[in-house]
Structure 1
Amino acid sequence: MKAILTSLAVATAVAVPAHAATTTEAAQVKIERYAPNADVSALTDTQVASILNAIHSQDSHGERSSIVESLLRQYQ
Structure 2
Amino acid sequence: MQAISIRYKNKVIPVLNYTHKVSHMEFLSNKLKENEMNFEFRKKLKMISIIEIIGDVAIFKYHDGTKLYLEVS
TM-score range, shorter chain: 0.3 to 0.5
| Structure index of larger Rg | 1
The TM-score with structure 2 as length reference comes to 0.34
Higher helix share: 1
